[in-house]
A and B are shown apart, each in its own frame.
Chain A
Amino acid sequence: MGILFHFGRYALFIRSVFSKPDKYKIFFRRIVDEMVQLGISSIGIVTIISFFIGAVVTLQTAYNLYSHMPIIPGYVVSLVTRDSVLLEFASTLICLILAGKVGSHVASEIGTMRVTEQIDALDLMGINSANYLVLPKVLGLMIMVPFLSILSMAVGIFGGWISGAVTGAVLSADYIQGIVYAFVPFFIVHSIVKSVVFAFIITSIAGYCGYYTSGGSLEVGRSSTQAVVQSSIWILVFDLILTKLLLP
């Protein structure tokens, strides 16, 4: 089926997702559940990946700067690490990881509900199934992702400090000086804005792929893969657009 078909159906799906919830009390309870399910449960993987990304970026930066330009002061290493983590890794890379973890989870959960007629059961009761199932996931991750992004920034910079200090690539004092040197607070806002947009992309595309699954377990797996591939591509496209729009 053509790309235009999917764009049209995705637009109609989003309209259905963002309609008025059937019962607000249940809706808010489901948002909290999804914040735990999609956000809190991702803290572990975000922490581990951020730590190692920060550590590796510091070592690579130190290697490149010292081997080619030995006169550059040590604090530049942590300045580069900080800005790389704030501008790109804490939002884009973490959301690409979440596209794999959360996207496949959402698509397979909703896809399984589709093929086992659970979504038909909701529709039959007169419940807007797209809204009931997908909106809490979209809002749940959009609420949680700024915290994950900030956590990623802190852990990434910490990881860089540990790796620099342990390997002797950067002195601790230099690293800390570089962290505060020429700091632009807007970079944090930039990263949070990007990650919120990416959270919407991940959950809405995964929800769409799962919602329109037809067939059996094979198709559920296919939808899950599609969700990860499509949301990763769109994250990168919007990364480019938002970077161009947000940075002067």
Chain B
Amino acid sequence: MIEAINISKSFDGKEVLKHISATFQKGQTNLIIGQSGSGKTVFLKTLVGLHQPNAGDVFYDSRNFIAMKEKEKNKLRQEIGMLFQGGALFDSQTVEENVRFPLDMFTGMTLDERRERANFCLNRVNLRNVNNLFPSEISGGMQKRVAIARAIALNPKYLFCDEPNSGLDPKTSIVIDELIQEITKEYDITTIINTHDMNSVMGIGEYIIFIHNGEKHWEGSSNDIFGSDNKELNDFVFASKLFQKIRNC
């Protein structure tokens, strides 16, 4: 479980996050939704420690991440997997080397064991025969799957995904969404996904928080979202004609 308490963050005097609190449960897909520029990515990066909040605390299973010393933070980071918006695969390494990278850095496993684990993770995300290819030689959807394989290589307790569907076609987006949800259930991890894709919201959103202009405006599940009377949320959810038609049906 991850708890964010009263998180505030400013850049050059501009307040990007305003007192956001949320509790993300284990074994479910937690979504952070909101328009572009609403502060979703800053919130996610603050949760994982890539940004230091101006105020507030983040607890990983009751361990206060913000108050930790750098050495303790680095230890906890090995329990975190993250899928970045662009994949963030290392260009100079092959697919297998990318997935093996956290194992090379943090485990005492032999090369054969590390290779076996990397192959297991690649198989888990339905990728085969791509081990020796470089990230530039595979499609965007495959890159995302390699990034997921790398994120789960160390058996993380917490998985963060920053806009996992950006740049992907709707069909591949669903594959990635379902894969993240399967992994969350299978390994019983706490997953937090940043998205503005309403298909993801409706497909895998078990707990959703809606951020608007750096403030949390709404929280609930995908079932509650249509019944909400929050104006900003409705403007966001029903921005597309498809969802307007669904509402009118």
Q: Mark B204-226, 1 if CB is under 8 A from A, else 0.
A: 00000000000000000000000
Given contacts A125-B78, A126-B75, contact A120 B104 (CB under 8 A): no
Given contacts A116-B86, A117-B85, A121-B82, A126 and B73 within 8 Å (CB-CB):
yes
Tell me if B102 and A117 are in contact (CB < 8 A).
Answer: no
Complex: how many Å from CA A121 to CA B80?
Answer: 11
Contacts of B105 in A (CB 8 A): 22-23, 26, 125, 127
Decide if B82 touches A26 in the complex (CB within 8 Å): no
Inter-chain contacts of A118 with B (CB < 8 A): 88-91
Provide the A56-68 mask, 1 if CB < 8 A to any CB of B, else 0: 0000000000000
Residues of A within 8 A of B77 (CB): 124-126
Q: Is the CB of A120 within 8 A of B84?
A: yes
Question: How far does the alpha carbon of A23 sit from the alpha carbon of B101 in the complex, in Å?
Answer: 12
The distance in angstroms between the C-alpha atoms of A125 and B75, with both chains bound, is 9
Give how many B residues have a beta carbon under 8 Å from the other chain's beta carbons.
24
Per DSSP, are chain B's interface residues mostly helix, strand or loop, or mixed? mixed
Neighbouring A residues of B76 by C-beta, 8 Å: 126
B78 touching A126, Cβ below 8 Å = yes
* Complex alpha-carbon distance, A125 and B147, angstroms: 13
B91 touches A124 (CB 8 A): no
Q: For window 80-113 of chain B, which residues contact chain A by CB distance below 8 Å?
A: 80, 82, 84-86, 88-91, 101-102, 104-106
Count, chain A residues at interface, CB 8 A: 15
Set of chain A residues within 8 Å of B49, measured between Cβ atoms: 124
> How far apart are the CA atoms of A123 and B48 in the complex, in Å?
10
Question: A136 to nearest B CB, angstroms?
Answer: 12
Distance of A124 Cα from B88 Cα, bound (Å): 11
Q: Bound complex: CA of A117 vs CA of B91, how far in Å?
A: 12
Q: Report the separation of the CA atoms of residues A119 and B49 in the bound assembly, to the nearest whole angstrom.
A: 13
- Beta-carbon contacts of A130-158 to B below 8 Å, as 1s and 0s? 00000000000000000000000000000
B74 sits at the interface (CB 8 A)? yes
- Does B90 contact A120, Cβ atoms closer than 8 Å? no
> Is B50 part of the binding interface, using a Cβ–Cβ cutoff of 8 Å?
yes
Rounded to whole Å, the gap between the CB of A243 and the closest CB of chain B is 38
Partner of A23, one of B88, B89, B104: B104
Q: How far, in Å, is B88 (CB) from chain A's closest CB? A: 4
